Amino acid sequence: MDNRAEYTPKGIAFAPSYECPGGCLHCNIPFDRIDAKAELDAGSAARALREAKAMGLHSFQFVGGEPTLRGDFMVEVVAEGRRLSMKPHRPPTNCATAARPEYLRDLFARLKQAGFTAGFRVSCDEFHGRVPPESVAGFIVTAADYFDLTRFAIGCCDKDEGRSRARLERVARAMSEMGLESRVGAAKMETARGSIKLGFWAPTRPTWKSLPDSEFVFRDVADEDAGAGAPRDGSPAPITRFGCLGPLGVGYVWIDPDGNARACCGNANLFSNKLIIGNIHAEPLAAIIDRARRDPAISALAEGGPVALAAQMGLSALLDRKYTHRCELCAAVLNA
């Protein structure tokens, strides 16, 4: 194909492990088919970070699993990132480590000393049954002693915004009871130590446990370039040709705990091994990226996303279905 858009990762994402006490039903991590105990060592991650910087990548992030369970890993990689003048993005957290207050304070103190200022993307929604809102409150109240809360975000992955706001109200009440006056506004959680941005969105498939269709928002597929926006009738914006792995995309190269490098950081990247492009324990990151740029499937995703990939693979019939997200379509194409 005419590869006018080259595979262009925006940065590097490290999954120090897939261990997570949440086990949320709507999670895009397939816990039933991965080794949740496998761990990526910080030395290998720091080396990959240096290689990424040499390639012109300037940002990194932590994914998982629950990243804060690997505190030593986070501290070492943050310190190396700071030395390299690389920007860390806000890591996600379900706040389960708030159950270990001494550990959490020590982690925050060491992250601050290492130069971490990015804040966290706090997850709080109805599917987090094992992590109560009070734990979320404890995490944020503790963090306020070390970090700028205006750099934090708190999001709810739940189609029912009313249900999410009720849960956030519980968080705010608990924070106030812990001594940090807080209230939930229209777009932010206002606290005595700064405003935290709110976000609401529906779950997307594939998920590791089945959820009823009523919990999702489904989108049509339009075999056209992105840019039209949402339809005027208020229905969800369709899935269009968007080069998710190209220079205008949002993809990070994703490093698994076993060192496997995946071309994508999307919601379905662990549901197909066809996105594995190498292993950082076996070869330099530059060699992995260079080979991925010659892969026809990766090139199609860089050019026009899963819509283009479906057309290239002769699977245009898949475009007649509805999907929760372009990543679900991608998984359907790759696993066809």
Write the DSSP symbol of residue 274. Answer: G
Q: What are phi and psi of 328, to 5 degrees?
A: -65, -40
Q: What is the mean pLDDT of residues 39-59?
A: 98
Q: How far apart are CA 130 and CA 156, in angstroms?
A: 15
Q: How far apart are CA 1 and CA 303, in angstroms?
A: 10
Which residue is associated with the tokens 């816990």?
Answer: 31
Give the alpha-carbon dihedral of 87, 269, 309, 237, to 10 degrees: -80
Domains along the sequence of the chain with CATH: 12-215+247-295 (3.20.20.70)
What's the whole-model pTM score?
Answer: 0.95
Phi-psi region for residue 51, left (φ > 0), alpha (ψ -120 to 50) or beta? Answer: alpha
Does 3 score more than 60 pLDDT? no
Residue whose C-alpha is closest to residue 99's, from 135, 63, 71: 135
Q: What is the mean pLDDT of residues 198-216?
A: 95
Q: What is the pLDDT of residue 125?
A: 86
Q: What is the pLDDT of residue 1?
A: 39
Q: How far apart are CA 45 and CA 80, in angstroms?
A: 10
Which residue is associated with the tokens 């370039």?
Answer: 225
- Contacts of residue 321, defined as CB under 8 A and 6 or more positions apart, other chains included, come to 221, 332
Whether residue 263 contacts residue 297, with contact meaning beta carbons closer than 8 Å, is answered with: no
Q: How far apart are CA 73 and CA 118, in angstroms?
A: 16
Q: How far apart are CA 220 and CA 237, in angstroms?
A: 8
Q: Detail the DSSP E strand segments found in the chain.
A: 12-14, 59-62, 87-88, 92-93, 121-123, 153-157, 182-184, 188-191, 194-201, 221-225, 239-241, 253-255, 260-262, 276-279
Does 2 score more than 90 pLDDT? no
Q: What is the mean pLDDT of the chain?
A: 95
Whether residue 126 contacts residue 167, with contact meaning beta carbons closer than 8 Å, is answered with: yes
Find the range with the poorest average confidence among 88-102, 193-207, 233-247: 233-247
Tens of pLDDT along 71-126?
999 999 999 999 999 999 999 999 999 999 999 999 999 999 999 999 999 999 88
**Cis link prior to 21 (omega < 30° from 0)?**
no
Q: How far apart are CA 72 and CA 68, in angstroms?
A: 9
Query: 322 by DSSP, 3-state: which?
Result: coil
Tens of pLDDT along 148-193?
999 999 999 999 999 999 999 999 999 999 999 999 999 999 999 9
Q: What is the pLDDT of residue 228?
A: 54
Strand partners, 219: 323
